[in-house]
């Protein structure tokens, strides 16, 4: 189901795409469009950014978050941004489930390289607002949050969902790093910020804070 979200006067379109129900966010202003996690080469996605300068930001490298990258590059000349620690995932698949889905034609895979490697700490202008790239390893090594303080929103990928967190049982996951990343987000992001996750509906950080602190403590205690 598609949704038009309004956060701080800014309109963000949420498209739920692909076999894993991944959120793709389209943030359009004037001549510019930001697409966060193009999950599928969907014609509506291509149409929504037509004739605009397009930047694609991948919150991490799992295929269900990047499978629309190449279509946007080909159709709109999109520049692709991903953290350097996840860039290899654009060229290889290391999860058996995803490999099986690709082999069975359920999800397209076109190996490609990004245009820009992120490290964390960068500042990106999005629709006139300053956004900060935060490196939040745990779910994957190169997961990022894009925190747009001026706009009161943060794209959190598979770090945080409403009432839950992303999986930390993948081969490239790290529960200890996840706990540290959750604590960083809790401390660095304003509580009123709307969180736009990689799956499921938006939430607000202050509503998740207690749960996230308890999950972080569990992740630390298990080690």
Binding to Zn ion in span 71-100, by CB under 5 A? none
Rounded CA separation 196/96 (Å): 27
DSSP state, 183?
A: H
Tokens at 17, concatenated: 């795409």
Per CB under 5 A, 37 contacts Zn ion: no
Q: Is the Cβ of residue 41 or residue 138 nearer to Zn ion in the bound state?
A: 138
Shortest distance in whole angstroms from residue 192 CB to Zn ion: 25
Distances 69 to 34, 85, 117, 156, 164 between C-alpha atoms, Å: 12, 17, 15, 18, 27
Q: Are 76 and 52 within 8 A, CB to CB?
A: yes
| N- to C-terminal Cα separation, the chain | 39
Beta carbons within 10 angstroms of residue 131's beta carbon: 24
Q: Is the Cβ of residue 62 or residue 73 nearer to Zn ion in the bound state?
A: 62
Residue found under tokens 């809790």: 186
Per CB under 5 A, 27 contacts Zn ion: no
Q: Is the Cβ of residue 10 or residue 81 nearer to Zn ion in the bound state?
A: 81
- Per-residue interface string for the shown chain with Zn ion, residues 142-161, x marking contact by CB under 5 A: ----------------x---
Q: Specify the stretch interacting with Zn ion by CB under 5 A; choose among 55-63, 79-87, 108-116, 201-209.
A: 55-63
Residues in the interface with Zn ion (CB under 5 A) total 3
Nearest C-alpha neighbor of 194 from the set 139, 144, 138, 156: 156
- Per-residue interface string for the shown chain with Zn ion, residues 182-221, x marking contact by CB under 5 A: ----------------x-----------------------
Shortest distance in whole angstroms from residue 191 CB to Zn ion: 25
Q: Is the Cβ of residue 106 or residue 130 nearer to Zn ion in the bound state?
A: 106
DSSP state, 107?
A: S
Q: Is the Cβ of residue 10 or residue 98 nearer to Zn ion in the bound state?
A: 98
Rounded CA separation 39/1 (Å): 14
Binder of Zn ion out of 62, 71, 83, 141 (CB under 5 A)? 62
Q: Which residues pair with 125 in a beta bridge?
A: 130
Binding site for Zn ion (CB under 5 A): 62, 158, 198
């Amino acid at each position: 189901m598609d949704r038009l979200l309004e956060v701080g006067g800014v309109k963000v379109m949420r498209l739920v795409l692909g076999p894993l129900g991944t959120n793709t966010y389209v943030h359009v202003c004037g001549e510019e469009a930001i697409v966060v996690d193009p999950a599928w080469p969907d014609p509506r996605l291509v149409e929504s950014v037509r004739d605009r300068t397009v930047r694609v930001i991948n919150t991490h490298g799992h295929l269900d978050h990047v499978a629309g990258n190449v279509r946007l590059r080909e159709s709109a000349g999109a520049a692709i941004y991903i953290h350097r620690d996840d860039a290899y995932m654009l060229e290889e698949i290391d999860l058996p489930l995803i490999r099986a889905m690709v082999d069975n034609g359920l999800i397209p895979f076109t190996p490609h390289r990004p245009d820009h490697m992120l490290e964390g700490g960068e500042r990106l202008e999005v629709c006139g607002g300053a956004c900060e790239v935060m490196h939040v390893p745990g779910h994957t090594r190169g997961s990022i949050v894009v925190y747009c303080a001026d706009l009161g929103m943060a794209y959190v990928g598979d770090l945080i969902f409403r009432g839950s967190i992303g999986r930390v049982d993948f081969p490239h996951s790290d529960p200890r790093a996840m706990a540290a990343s959750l604590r960083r987000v809790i401390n660095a992001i304003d509580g009123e910020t709307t969180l736009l996750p990689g799956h499921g509906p938006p939430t607000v950080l202050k509503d998740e804070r207690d749960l996230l602190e308890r999950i972080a403590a569990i992740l630390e205690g298990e080690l």
